[in-house]
């Protein structure tokens, strides 16, 4: 049995010692779940189960149920105070083994709340966290410094449902429990221009390190679903994200000015990009200067009829570099991989490697856009040109495609170093020009239909894909268990 002292050491480990071997740790309530003060009462877990299991950088020594803090899972009682009180109570254990908040079966209506360090939020398989539709319950917060304003509107923005800043070792997980943003009212207000501020997201963690988000279903977010920003060492695994395909800006997973990110085994149905990598907007992102880099995406399945499976940008003014995507499946989506940028963005998108895509019913297999006209204000520098270079695609099979590729660089600022190999695109209808290309340069091999002339430079073999692993690839988590009383 692992002692509290060992748990304390695990919770304090540095990144260099975060490469943990998988171990099974059982925590019994008799000595691992101290309850003090007003929380000494016997837990009320609703429909009990024998044992819960979860992955974590370190197993938690202290476990509480939301019901201990007055939570009522009837779908109508507002539980914001219960969530906030529970997190505050468990935060006292951040240096003595960490805490876990167990959300039992039920429907738990709540407004936004923040997490703490050395903390796990665990949802029972029959638990649903419901976001309140009362806009007045969503606090206003400042815009991100790399954006200069809210994404929807100038000025501030609404808090995200589950948030946190300056955290270390935070886990949001469960037995495939659900977080429901109840976003329909937000989408309606957005379409009618009735919102004064930018919509909140389901999950947003800022300035944080060692994040794990896994084994959950996220539905109907008001806008973006998962948004880590200014953070590092992030794993998003086995997440299902569902939103109506015409819901506005319901992006799936958006790492933003983040490094060492691993996204794997996720299924996304979205009204916007399934994964969008970002790093700030025009002059604000250039000034903040924090890139998104060293990102792995694998075994992603996406349905997004109006957007991309994987997008880079359009907010990329801090730079995007070293993105590796493989084993990607898309059905009825607008484009496979899309690079979005414009004059005024500055910075770069480079060293992007994609291999092993299966695409079915697509508008474009490949899309690069150098004229994305969205800007935060009129103070951007139109001469701040982005650099787009070293982009590789290989081993791609696409069927029922309208146009093989739409590749549009910027006049006098061509997108260069494009490599496309072993690609077969089955066209829905025969077209005289299957490829549309302007201001791009590159090479290709074994591509059908024949690519446009700027990409007909010869290339032998497959396009490059890094052989060395990233540090985030080697991170493993402890497999922890807890027996409910």
Give the pLDDT confidence of 291-323 residue by residue, as tens digits: 999 999 999 999 999 999 999 999 999 999 999
Alpha carbons 402 and 364: distance in angstroms, whole number: 6
CA distances from 4 to 69, 160, 172, 308, 372 (A): 24, 33, 22, 46, 53
pLDDT at site 129: 99
Quickly state the pLDDT bin for 13 (edges 50, 70, 90).
very low
Burial string for 153-185 (b: 16+ CB within 10 Å, else e) reads: beebbbbbbbbbeebbbbbbbbbbbbbbbbbee
Band of pLDDT at residue 260, cut at 50, 70 and 90: very high
Q: List the catalytic residues.
A: 272
C-alpha torsion angle, residues 188, 189, 192, 193 (rounded to 10) = -150
Closest CA to 151 of 244, 229, 221, 223: 223
Q: Is the pLDDT of residue 2 over 80?
A: no
The percentage of residues in the chain with a pLDDT greater than 90, rounded to a whole number, is: 87
Is the predicted pLDDT of residue 89 greater than 70, yes or no?
yes
Q: Read off φ and ψ for residue 482, nearest 5 degrees.
A: -145, 130
Report yes or no on whether pTM surpasses 0.75: yes
State the pLDDT at residue 47. 52
Q: What is the distance between the alpha carbons of residues 107 and 192, in angstroms, rounded to a whole number?
A: 29
Q: What is the mean pLDDT of residues 119-123?
A: 98
pLDDT band at 6 (very low <50, low <70, confident <90, very high): very low
Neighbours of 373 (CB within 10 A): 9
Position 28 pLDDT exceeds 90: no
Contact 339, 378 (CB under 8 A): no
What is the four-CA torsion angle of 378, 379, 385, 386, rounded to 10 degrees? -90
- The 8-class DSSP code of residue 47 comes to S
Bridge partner residues of 324 (DSSP): 296, 353
Residues 6+ apart with CB under 8 A from 265: 237, 238, 298, 299
What is the Cα–Cα distance from 245 to 302, expressed in whole angstroms? 11
The predicted structure's pLDDT at residue 45 = 47
pLDDT digits (tens, 9 = 90+) for 399-458: 999 999 999 999 999 999 999 999 999 999 988 899 999 999 999 999 999 999 999 999
In sequence order, which ranges of 12-118 are alpha helices (DSSP H)?
Answer: 29-32, 80-91
């Amino acid at each position: 049995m692992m002692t509290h002292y060992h748990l304390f050491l695990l919770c304090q480990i540095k990144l260099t010692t975060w490469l943990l071997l998988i171990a099974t740790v059982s925590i019994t309530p008799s000595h691992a779940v101290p309850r003090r003060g007003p929380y000494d009462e016997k837990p009320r877990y609703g429909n009990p189960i024998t044992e819960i299991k979860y992955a974590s950088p370190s197993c938690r020594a202290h476990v509480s149920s939301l019901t201990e803090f007055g939570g009522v899972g009837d779908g109508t009682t507002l539980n914001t105070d219960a969530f906030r009180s529970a997190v505050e109570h468990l935060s006292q254990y951040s240096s003595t083994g960490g805490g876990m908040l167990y959300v039992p079966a039920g429907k738990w209506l709540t407004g936004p709340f923040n997490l703490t360090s050395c903390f796990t939020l665990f949802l029972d398989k029959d638990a649903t966290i419901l976001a309140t539709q009362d806009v007045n319950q969503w606090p206003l917060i400042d815009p991100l410094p790399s954006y200069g304003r809210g994404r929807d509107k100038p000025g501030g923005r609404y808090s995200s449902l589950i948030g946190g800043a300056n955290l270390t070792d935070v886990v949001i997980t469960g037995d495939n429990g659900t977080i429901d943003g109840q976003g329909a009212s937000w989408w309606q207000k957005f379409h009618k221009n009735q919102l004064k501020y930018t919509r909140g997201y389901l999950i947003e963690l800022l300035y944080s390190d060692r994040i794990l988000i896994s084994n959950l279903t996220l539905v109907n977010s008001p806008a973006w679903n998962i948004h880590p920003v200014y953070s590092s060492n992030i794993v998003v695994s086995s997440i299902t994200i569902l939103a109506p395909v015409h819901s506005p800006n319901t992006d799936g997973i958006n790492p933003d000015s983040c490094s060492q990110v691993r996204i794997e085994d996720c299924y996304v149905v979205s009204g916007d990009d399934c994964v969008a990598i970002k790093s700030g907007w025009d002059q604000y992102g250039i000034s903040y200067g924090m890139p998104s880099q060293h990102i792995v995406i694998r075994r992603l399945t996406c349905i997004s009829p109006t957007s991309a499976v994987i997008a880079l940008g359009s907010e990329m003014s801090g730079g995007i570099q070293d993105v590796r995507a493989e084993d990607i499946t898309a059905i009825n989506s607008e484009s496979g991989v899309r690079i979005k940028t414009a004059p005024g963005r500055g910075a770069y998108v480079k060293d992007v490697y994609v291999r092993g895509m299966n695409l079915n019913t697509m508008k474009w297999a490949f899309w690069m856009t150098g004229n994305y006209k969205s800007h935060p204000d009129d103070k951007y520098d139109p001469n701040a040109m982005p650099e787009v270079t070293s982009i590789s695609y290989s081993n791609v099979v696409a069927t029922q495609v309208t146009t093989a590729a739409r590749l549009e660089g910027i006049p006098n600022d061509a997108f260069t170093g494009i490599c496309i190999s072993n690609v077969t695109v089955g066209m829905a209808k025969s077209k005289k020009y299957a490829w549309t290309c302007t201001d791009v340069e590159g090479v290709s091999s074994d591509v059908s239909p024949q690519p446009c002339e700027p990409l007909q430079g010869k290339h032998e073999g497959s396009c490059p894909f890094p052989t060395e692993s990233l540090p985030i690839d080697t991170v493993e988590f402890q497999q922890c268990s807890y027996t409910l009383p």
